[in-house]
Amino acid sequence: MPPAGEDQQKVSEVSEADKACIDNLEKLGLRFEKRPPVQENACKIANPVSVSGLPNGVEISPVSLMECRYAEGLARWVGEVVVPRAGEHLKAAPKKILIGTSYQCRDQRSGAKLSEHAFGNGVDVMGFEFDKSGPLTIKFQAEGSPEAAFQSAIQKEACAIFSTVLGPGADADHGDHLHLDMRARKGDYRICQ
């Protein structure tokens, strides 16, 4: 049994880490609101934020509830991958990310365990809107098109940030969106399809 003060120290360390994450979101320039912890059956988010916008003026639609550390990863992906690849392949800047699912208390489709959505640790990206280009819906794109090159690049490069990346070509369930999550696995194992 740990000494009485040890549990309190762990709570204090966690809240310091949570506070540091919130501070980092503010420094990065995200538009968000801090929310109280979520606990719904076995589903939970310890440090939830409701995100409406990312750096570079990119809006999140609809506003999405997620774990603070996940919001940091999403901001990193947009800033380091989506923005430069949109400029490279589409000659445009993303203005909006269309989200299908963020937090949702549910099992994985297989029913084997809880989905990362149940922990605010995953989102389904349905598409994008741009400043100088038409909207892009995640789907099988015409081979050789700028849209195909953009979608392929952002999907592949997401694997450096997220531990699970599933999209068109992965399986029948992910043909119309990019599922991006940060599931912790042994040995930093990643699933990128």
Cβ–Cβ < 8 Å for 119, 44: yes
Exposed, middle or buried by CB within 10 Å (0-12, 13-18, 19+), for 73? Answer: buried
Looking at residue 176, what is its pLDDT?
A: 79
Q: Name which of 81, 89, 84, 105 is nearest 155 in CA terms.
A: 81
The torsion angles phi and psi of 52, rounded to 5 degrees, stand at: -115, -20
Looking at residue 16, what is its pLDDT?
A: 87
List domains and CATH numbers for the chain: 4-192 (3.30.1380)
pTM of the model: 0.87
Kindly report, residue by residue over 29-43, the tens digit of the pLDDT.
999 999 999 999 899
Looking at residue 170, what is its pLDDT?
A: 64
Cβ–Cβ < 8 Å for 59, 53: yes
- Splitting the chain (193 residues) into consecutive groups of 10 residues, what average pLDDT does each group show? 46 72 95 95 94 95 97 96 97 96 81 85 96 91 94 94 85 76 75 74
Q: Which two structure tokens, joined as six digits, stand for 182?
A: 């940060």
Antiparallel, parallel or unpaired: β 58-67 and 94-101:
parallel
Q: Which two structure tokens, joined as six digits, stand for 86?
A: 């949109």
Looking at residue 178, what is its pLDDT?
A: 93
Looking at residue 3, what is its pLDDT?
A: 47
Q: Which two structure tokens, joined as six digits, stand for 39?
A: 């606990």
